[in-house]
Amino acid sequence: MNRLYTCSNNPDVKNIIITGGNSGIGFNTAKKLSLKNCCITLGVRNIKKGAEAKEKILAFNPKAKIDLIKLDLSDLESVRSFAKEYHSRHDKLYLLYNNAGIMWNPYELSKQGYEMHFATNHLGHFMLTGLLIDMIISTPDSKVVTTTSIARLFHTVNNFKNTIHGEDYNRYRAYSNSKMMNYLFSYELSKFFQKCDVKSKSISVHPGISRTRLFLSASGKDKSLIRRFIHAASGMVISQPAAWGALSNIKTYEDAKIKNGEMVSPSVFGIWGIPVRKKLHIGRNLKYISKELWDLSKKLTNCEYKLR
């Protein structure tokens, strides 16, 4: 893709990155925003599937501006490569959707030796944001939108010794912990923007319980037929379509009143319904852990969040 759609050549075009944009909520977000004046880059682990998603979006909107760059969030080298490639193609970044994630996976370590939920859901997004922070801050009214989950309420994060490498592994706990980390990251990033006195915004989103491939396929990872049935049934009964889940993301683009340090989630118990805004809040007991996670993530990724 040439630089035709970059902000430098057309200031009205908004450059957007969506991680995991080839399916589910990320795909529906890209599809909806393709109708806006946006140049959308999908960060995808599988280029073939990304190309298929791009074709579907172009079939929906032939004028869509869609780009693809390979991105495996579990591999820090892939994250670095993505950021370098994006810098070579663009000079501004209006909106970064930290959307991709894994859920309830069997125990596995990333290429760098970190537990896979921790590596994919949190650490990769932390590094990606840090490597693009100069572009984000230099873009007027830019936003970083990070997806969390109501599962974060079941976290067991009180230290990170058993989280990084997955000792005493439990797939449900690992996922919940990673989603709390997403929430804490949004909080710390909002403080970072405030401290730097910039107009960029850090926003946390919860799409509700949505019928995505992530949720429904997770039921197949459990050998228990009863648990598979419960997961699948609950997905159909209390969840909403993936297109509805994308509404929280869309609101972060369309709502001019949204502020740094806010969260967008469905109105009904945070599960489904029209998305609403509320302030990001963490309890006193999590404030120390939140700062510890930020410092640890900088160390593990060698990413300092420097303003150039």
Q: Where are the alpha helices (DSSP H) in 196-304?
A: 213-218, 225-237, 242-245, 247-254, 284-301
Kindly list the catalytic residues: 169
pLDDT recorded at residue 221: 52
| Paired strand residues for 262 | 203, 279
- Asked whether residue 11 carries a pLDDT value surpassing 80, the answer given is no
Entry pTM: 0.89
Residues 204-217 have pLDDT tens digits of 999 876 554 554 44
Q: What is the mean pLDDT of the chain?
A: 87
Contact between 169 and 163 (Cβ < 8 Å): no
Give the Cα separation of 100 and 69 in Å (integer): 14
Q: Is the dihedral of CA 252, 257, 262, 268 positive or negative?
A: negative
pLDDT tier at 219, thresholds 50, 70, 90: very low
SS3 state of residue 170: coil
Q: What is the pLDDT of residue 225?
A: 46
Token pair listed for 256? 């001019």
Residue 195: band (very low, low, confident or very high) from pLDDT cuts 50, 70, 90: very high
CA-to-CA distance for 130 and 125, rounded, in angstroms?
8
Identify which has the larger pLDDT, 158 or 99. 99
β-strands 14-19, 95-98: how paired? parallel
pLDDT digits (tens, 9 = 90+) for 239-287: 556 667 789 999 999 999 999 999 999 887 667 778 999 999 888 888 8
What does the pLDDT look like over 34-71, one tens digit per residue? Answer: 999 899 999 999 999 999 999 999 999 999 999 999 99
Predicted local confidence at residue 239, as pLDDT: 52
pLDDT of residue 176: 94
Q: Find the DSSP H helices in 34-101.
A: 47-60, 76-89
pLDDT digits (tens, 9 = 90+) for 258-269: 999 999 998 876
Residue partners of 61: CB distance under 8 A and separation at least 6: 31, 34, 35
pLDDT of 306 strictly over 90: no
Distance, in Å, from the CA atom of 57 to the CA atom of 48, rounded to the nearest integer, reads 14
Name the band, by pLDDT with cuts 50, 70 and 90, for residue 168: confident
User: Phi and psi for 258 in degrees, rounded to 5?
Assistant: -65, 140
Which pLDDT tens digit goes with each residue over 94-112?
Answer: 999 999 999 999 999 999 9
pLDDT confidence bin for 218, thresholds 50/70/90: low
- What does the alpha-carbon distance between residue 70 and residue 78 come to, in Å, rounded to a whole number? 8
Domains of the chain: 12-301 (3.40.50.720)
